[in-house]
């Protein structure tokens, strides 16, 4: 419950607005991280399953030694990787678990 932390009631509208403002503030840094990952000479791709409201989602990750981008998707394979938009433009060396979805890309 929103009031458990400070004992104050917070309206759903207040929480929604806070999320919107935060998302707007993070848009530029998130895009800069994604652009730097796509331009990296070497990156690592992986995924791990997580439950979201009792449904299995996959947390897909593209990372270097200094940067990480994570994106959730209800699927594990090519559809999810295409939705991330990170691997199609990536031209470096991709370290991954040899899954067939990653092999579709020209990196």
Contacting residues for 85 by C-beta, under 8 A, at least 6 apart: 34
pLDDT at 54 over 80: yes
Rounded CA separation 69/79 (Å): 17
The answer to whether residue 79 is domain-embedded is yes
The answer to whether residue 6 is domain-embedded is no
The answer to whether residue 80 is domain-embedded is yes
CATH number for 49: 3.30.720
Write out the residue range of the structural domain in which residue 90 sits: 12-104
Task: Count the domains in the chain.
Answer: 1
Task: Please state the pTM of the whole predicted model.
Answer: 0.78
The answer to whether residue 1 is domain-embedded is no
The answer to whether residue 3 is domain-embedded is no
The answer to whether residue 78 is domain-embedded is yes
Mean pLDDT of 25-50: 95
With tokens 């270097």, the residue in question is 64
The answer to whether residue 34 is domain-embedded is yes
Express each pLDDT in 75-98 by its tens digit. 988 888 889 899 999 999 999 988
The answer to whether residue 42 is domain-embedded is yes
């Amino acid at each position: 419950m929103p009031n458990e932390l400070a004992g104050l009631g917070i309206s759903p509208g207040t929480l929604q607005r806070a999320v919107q403002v935060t998302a707007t503030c993070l848009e530029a840094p998130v895009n800069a991280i994604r652009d730097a990952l796509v331009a990296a000479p070497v990156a690592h791709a992986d995924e791990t399953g997580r439950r979201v409201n009792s449904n299995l989602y996959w947390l897909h990750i593209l990372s270097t030694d200094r940067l990480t981008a994570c994106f959730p998707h209800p699927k594990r394979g090519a559809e999810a990787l295409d939705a991330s938009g990170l691997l199609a433009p990536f031209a470096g060396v991709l370290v991954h678990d040899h899954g067939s979805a990653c092999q579709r890309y020209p990196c």
